[in-house]
Amino acid sequence: MFDLDQAIRKIPDFPKQGILFYDITSILTNPEAFAYCVDTIVGIYRDSGIDAVACIEARGFLFASPVALQLGLPIVLVRKKGKLPGETLEKTFSLEYGMDTIQVHKADVAAGSRYLVIDDLIATGGTVKAAVELIEEGGAAVHEICCIIGLPFLPYKDLLSGYQVRTLIDYHSE
Ligand code: AMP
């Protein structure tokens, strides 16, 4: 079993005092760690019946792209407001400080399809929840949510109750 923990750099007090930042760039610079993450996700979802992979800007893109390619599935980008050129659906949600808005191309969310949602890390779950709502607003369904890192001491399980959230590694304190 690959030791993913040793491949994740932890940076205290980033981006502000009191936050322990889990830095996935140290996974990307470690091909064995990156392959472990991609292969594990591909193994979980190979025969799951999903139709597409949705991923969240920007770190979610990095993990979802090789997964979608290996599964032979479309990849749909959930982006920050103002980045997508076509007609979009959008959702505004609250962050720890202030608000953020994400968008998806309306034409890319196929009605009736089952999506796997991928991001790098799930903390409060606010970002993933907004992405799930966008996909559902487009008429598609969310099969599961898969993130590399979970912080289960934050309330993402409550926010996403009713959805299966998988993580490859969990950290249980700040
Ligand atoms: P949230 O909406 O609270 O679940 O936060 C989601 C996004 O914030 C994730 O996609 C991460 O990129 C980033 N994030 C939040 N907390 C951390 C942390 N402790 N370390 C690294 N990234 C984080």
Per-residue pLDDT of the chain (174 residues; tens, 9 = 90+): 899 999 999 999 999 999 999 999 999 999 999 999 999 999 999 999 999 999 999 999 999 999 999 999 999 999 999 999 999 999 999 987 789 999 999 999 999 999 999 999 999 999 999 999 999 999 999 999 999 999 999 999 999 999 999 999 999 976
101 CA distance to ligand 1 middle (Å): 15
Ligand 1 atom closest to residue 156's alpha carbon, by position in its atom list: 4
Coil vs helix vs strand at 51? coil
Ligand 1 binding site (Cβ under 6 Å of any ligand atom) = 19-22, 59, 119-127, 156
pTM of the prediction?
Answer: 0.97
**Whether 118 contacts 78, CB under 8 Å:** no
Domains of the chain, with CATH numbers?
49-170 (3.40.50.2020)
83 CA distance to ligand 1 middle (Å): 20
- Residues marked as catalytic: 59, 96
151 CA distance to ligand 1 middle (Å): 9
Residue 11 confidence (pLDDT):
97
CA dihedral for 136, 142, 146, 152, sign (positive or negative): positive
* Protein residue whose Cα sits closest to atom 11 of ligand 1: 121
> Strand pairing of 52-56 and 20-23?
unpaired
* Protein residue whose Cα sits closest to atom 9 of ligand 1: 121
